[in-house]
Amino acid sequence: MFLDSTELPWPQHIQVGSPIICGRQTFDRLLVHTPMIHQGTDLEQMLQTLVRPWVKSGDMIFISEKVVAISQGRLAKGDEIQVRPLAHFLSARVMKSSHGLGHRNPLVMEMALREAGPVRILFAAAVGGFSKRVLGRSGDFYRLAGRRVAAIDGTNRVTIPPYGDYVVLMPTDPEGVARRLAGAAGGDLAVVDVNDVGAEVLGASAGIDRDLLRQATRDNPLGQGHQQTPVGIIRVHNLAH
């Protein structure tokens, strides 16, 4: 029987999400509702209060890279970004995707140029375009441009205001952040980039099984709009609360 919020004394800020099967194991997923996170928000204190009392041995805690980046001030308001002609040129040549604008957004491409530099972005765009058109292979642009480019989140009306009007960059030192936050949360923790395309672990404390966590979050269980659940807990199903 899966975890049931009607039977267990979960606090109001913890929601019982849908379980997921990975291999031969079933994992329960708990989603943590948080206050609005802004630049300067003390994430360690937040996790100590909202997560630590509910963590059990064997749990994996995960937090959205977007809220980590926002707390670090790694963001820029869209209408304040000066987009150079090169960014317009490159973004217009990015192929359409059902998963959103991505780097077709000139604002995102401009920030990619700032993060990785024009030479690397031009090289990645040339190779990525060739491999997509000639070889039918996708993803080379992001592999060559680097994780800092792939992790950029563009302006998005779905994101909770006011951050839908911002471009958010990859957080600084996600490995170090994960280790510090793990201490505050009282269990192993990872900083993750999860979206409708898939999941990636940007940084993790020593006890995190990265492959397992990617599988367990592949359907993007976090809610970063009005749900305000940017933190989650993965728990093996047979560990009772």
**Considering the chain, what is the average pLDDT of its residues?**
88
In a domain, 135, yes or no: yes
pLDDT, residue 100, reads 57
- Mean pLDDT over 65-94 rounds to 94
pLDDT, residue 6, reads 42
In a domain, 128, yes or no: yes
Are 161 and 82 members of one domain?
yes
What is the full DSSP assignment across 144-193? Answer: HH-HHHHT-B---TTSPTTGGGEEEPPPS-HHHHHHHHHHHHTS-EEEEE
Are 87 and 144 members of one domain?
yes
Residue finishing a domain among 168, 190, 214? 168
Is it the case that residue 29 has pLDDT exceeding 70?
yes
Of the two residues 197 and 209, the one the predictor is more confident about is 209
Beta strands, E only, the chain: 14-16, 20-22, 25-32, 60-64, 75-77, 166-168, 189-194, 199-204, 231-236
Are 83 and 161 members of one domain?
yes
In a domain, 241, yes or no: no
Are 186 and 231 members of one domain?
yes
- Provide the domain limits for residue 86: 76-168
Q: What is the rounded CA–CA span in Å between residue 49 and residue 46? A: 5
In a domain, 4, yes or no: no
- Mean pLDDT over 12-26 rounds to 87
The pTM of this model reads: 0.88
- Mean pLDDT over 69-97 rounds to 92
Are 179 and 142 members of one domain?
no
In a domain, 29, yes or no: yes
Are 65 and 81 members of one domain?
no
| Tens-place pLDDT, residues 140-157 | 888 999 999 999 998 887
